[in-house]
Structure 1
Amino acid sequence: MRICIQGCQNGGMIDLQQTKMKINLSGMPLTSLVTLYSRAKISKEHASLFNDAKAVELVEQIDYCFSLLEKSGADFTLFANAARAMQLDKRVKAYIKEHPHVSVINLGAGFETEFYRVDNGIIRWYDLDLPELIEVRKQLLPETDRSTCIAKSFLDPSWCQDINTENGLFMIAGGLFRYFGETEVHQFFSLLADRFPGCEIVFEAESKSSIDVDGSCGAYGVGWNDDEPEKKDAMQAEYMKAFENAWKMFFPQVQKDMMIGALTTSTRPQSAKWDDFETWWDQLSAQEKGKAMSDFFFGFTCGCPLEDASEMTVWDNRITVVDQFPLFRGIPRDPSLSKSIRQFMDYTDEKGRIKIFHVRV
């Protein structure tokens, strides 16, 4: 713990009064701060839809310039993170209502605070993530007599020995699987079937169309069809503005170089300066723009896209589909939400680009 004296760059305020925790994360673990901030932001602005008081509290405790995330993330992508939490909460609450003593494990937990939102006072909860992230998590969210942290990769089968499944097991995985290939995800589900027959798991899945090179803009499928040019142009403009802010203020030089180096387009920007990037971008075809934005989406593309949960039954016949539904199903298109958020919700669900899968093994 330390006194926050650095503040934000570009004119941010410096706080000499409040004790905050300085954390340094990069790469995939950094996305945990993005999802944490998303939940806090939506909780403060749209509490009638979603309320994560613990996320708001954590954002206040962490010495990090969250305003960079505000500027570098389009509103609709931040809302999508909160929407995923809303849907997982509903599934966990429904399950523990029928199985009040069950053990629940959150895979790739990051700074997720679901335990505080769904706890019935009886369940046993486990949060699993990489050691460097769990080390920070335990300082911000100390373990309790019913909540335990496991500092391991979900691909390390030894975690199976660290949990008590006497009263059954329910699992959530959020957006974890998008960072891994089908082979790894397939092996993980076979492990579950071997070790925990009868357990259930809920997670987010992106469709193959989410990463298609179709002239839209981004691995989340942010865009509209050519027969809807006004909506498509508006969404693309907002996404690009957020990306510009991220490029100028959020991405370190080494990450910019890495992202440029990983481009699969026929040409690349002359340098990592935004002006050069923008000149290069304007010269790309619609197809290449789609390919570039897939390459640039946090440096990742979805490694295990799925159109339908039934595809998983081919991996292993012990997998049974309980349910699947669009990400924003049942979430009101509240007038307080921005137009771009409501458009994104409709577009994503209409095209089936992001879904929640619930399966039993």
Structure 2
Amino acid sequence: MSFLDYPAETLQLTNRIKIPLTGTQETLMGPLIARARDARMPQPILNDIYAAQILDWIDHDIEKFHVDDTQATMHALRASCIDRWVIEFLTNNPECTVVHLACGLDSRWQRIQPDLTRVRWIDLDLPDVIEIRNKLIPNPEGNYMLVAADATEESWLQQIPADRPTVIVGQGLMMYLQEEAGKRLIQRVVEHFNSGQLIIDCVGTIMLSLQHRIETLTATGSSFQWGVDEPKTLENLHPKLTMLECLGPAELGGFSQMPLGTRIMLSTYSYLPWFRYLSSYVRFAF
């Protein structure tokens, strides 16, 4: 039985799951806290009630991440954008494969609710992350696979059939990889699957020098490794890659709930070439 089968109020603190992760792996807590905080707002963007439930069943120091309402809203907008792209792909390709890299404790399949009699869904993360995920999130019935592997290794791909259009999602992954490892990962997945889309987010190189201000990184002792200033240049990694859409922070929309100063800052970013892709949300066809 998963913790999702119990009412949260019946669980004592001693029964809750500890998160013994450090460094980059511990960063999975930041997005989880943000999604849960958004779900508890009067007007949530993502409304990920599953994230709120999962967070209730975790014993961890969440205060050190300093996730406020603005950060929660920003994360919810990013996740909502990527969810929307995945849903669009599923609509156009009802019998397809979804590969969710670095899934962490993300409840994306629960939010999207794909028809797993027609869709093959694969969640992948490192073994110790998958061990924790198994304790907190029940696997759905249907064509679902949970893979414990390093996304940058080659062996896991051999487990995944390439017989359907495939969408690969890598949110919160590429910036933590060494540049060559990230590029090789993109090349491998595009080469393995016959057709589909690649959906990722990136940070610009300026973020590499500003990362000491990012609470999730300072709280976990992790760091960004790879900055991409012009996401379209990633097309050069493989002849099949074509960029379909690239959004900067100011282009995500939905900022009405943010403080005026934040809205002005984001608007300013959209006019400054070196700030426009401070972070970017990109989808490619292949």
| TM-score, structure 1 as length reference | 0.67
Counterparts of 1:164-203 in structure 2, within 5 Å, are 164-203=161-200
Partner residue, 1:300: 223
Do residues 147 (structure 1) and 144 (structure 2) align?
Answer: yes
Which of residues 258, 263, 266 in structure 2 aligns to 1:337?
258
Distance 2:84 2:148 in 1: 26
Q: Aligned pair in 2 of structure 1 residues 323, 219: CA closer, same or farther (>3 Å)?
A: same
Q: Is the 8 A contact 1:79 1:341 kept in 2?
A: no
SS of equivalent to 2:90: helix
Relative distance call for 1:327 and 1:95 in structure 2 (3 A) is farther
* Counterpart position of 1:354: 279
Other-structure match for 1:233: none
* Residues 46/128 of structure 1: CA separation in 2 closer, same or farther (3 Å cut): farther
Superposition pairs of residues 225-264 of structure 1, within 5 angstroms = none
1:348/1:60 Cα in 2 relative to 1: closer, same or farther (>3 Å)? farther
TM-aligned CA distance change 1:176 to 1:19, over 3 Å: same
Is 1:58 the equivalent of 2:54?
yes
Secondary structure, aligned partner of 1:205: strand
Greater radius of gyration (CA): 1
Native 8 Å contact 2:203 2:279 kept in 1: yes
For residue 160 of structure 1, what is the aligned residue in structure 2?
157
Per-residue deviation, 1:16: 4.3
Flag as ranges the 4+ runs of structure 1 deviating above 6 A: none
Letter in structure 2 aligned against 1:342? R
Change in CA separation of 1:103 and 1:49 when aligned onto 2, cut-off 3 Å: same
- Partner residue in 2 for 1:211: 208
Secondary structure of 1:201's partner? Answer: strand
Runs of 5+ unmatched residues, structure 2: 2-10
Q: Is the 8 A contact 1:102 1:124 kept in 2?
A: yes
Equivalent-residue separation in structure 2 for 1:344 and 1:50 (angstroms): 22
What letter corresponds to residue 300 of structure 1 in structure 2?
S
Alignment pair present for 1:39 and 2:31 = no
Preserved CA contact (<8 Å) 2:203 2:228: yes
Structure-1 separation of matches of 2:84 and 2:42? 18
Query: Matched residues in 2 for 1:210 and 1:158: separation?
Result: 32
Q: CA deviation at 1:30?
A: 0.6
Which string of whole-angstrom CA distances, capped at 9 and with x for unpartnered residues, describes residues 317-349 of structure 1?
332112112234242221x33345434543444
Instruction: Report the equivalent of 1:99.
Output: 93
Among candidates 237, 247, 272, match of residue 325 of structure 1: 247
Amino acid at match of 2:267: D
- In structure 2, give the amino acid aligned to 1:57: Q
5+ residue gaps, structure 1, are 2-14, 213-217, 223-238, 252-297
Residue of structure 2 in register with 1:274 after alignment: none
In 2, Cα distance between the equivalents of 1:27 and 1:330?
29
Tell whether the 8 Å contact from 2:32 to 2:106 is kept in structure 1 after alignment. yes
| Aligned position for 2:4 | none
2:125 aligned with 1:137, yes or no? no
Q: Could you state the TM-score of these two structures normalised by the residue count of structure 2?
A: 0.84
The 8 Å contact of residues 75 and 340 in structure 1, kept in 2 or not, is answered as no
After TM superposition, give the deviation of residue 76 of structure 1 in Å: 4.0
Deviation at 1:140, TM superposition (A): 0.8
Q: 1:192 to 1:133 in 2, by over 3 A?
A: same
Cα distance in structure 2, aligned partners of 1:120 and 1:22: 30
- Identity in percent: 18
RMSD of aligned residue pairs (Cα, Å): 2.8
CA 1:341 to 1:165, structure 2 compared with 1: closer, same or farther past 3 Å? farther
What is the deviation of 1:94?
A: 0.8
The residue that corresponds to 1:270 in the other structure is none
Contact 1:207 1:354 in 2 (8 A): yes
Letter in 1 for 2:153: D
- How many residues are aligned here? 271
| Counterpart-to-counterpart distance in 1, 2:194 and 2:184 | 15
* 1:154 CA drift (Å): 0.8
CA drift of 1:17 comes to: 7.2
Counterpart code for 2:263: R
Residue deviations 1:38-84 (CA, integer Å, cap 9, x gap): 11111211544221011011011111232333xx3455444332222
